[in-house]
Amino acid sequence: MNPEHEPDLSTPVSTDTADEQPARSVPAVPAALAEPLARSEPPAPALAEPVAQPPRPARQLNRPARWLVAVVEVAAVVGLAALAGWAWHRASIPVQLPEYENPAIPRSASRMSGPWAVAAVAAATLAGVLLLDAVREVLLAARAEHRTRSASAGAPHEDVESPQ
C-alpha distances in Å from residue 74, one per residue of 68, 69, 84, 110, 134: 10, 9, 15, 33, 6
Q: Is the pTM of this model over 0.75?
A: no
pLDDT of residue 164: 46
Q: What is the pLDDT of residues 123-153, one digit of tens each?
A: 999 999 999 999 999 998 888 766 666 666 6
C-alpha distances in Å from residue 129, one per residue of 16, 105, 136: 79, 41, 11
Q: What is the pLDDT of residues 74-112, one digit of tens each?
A: 999 999 999 999 999 999 998 988 888 878 888 888 899
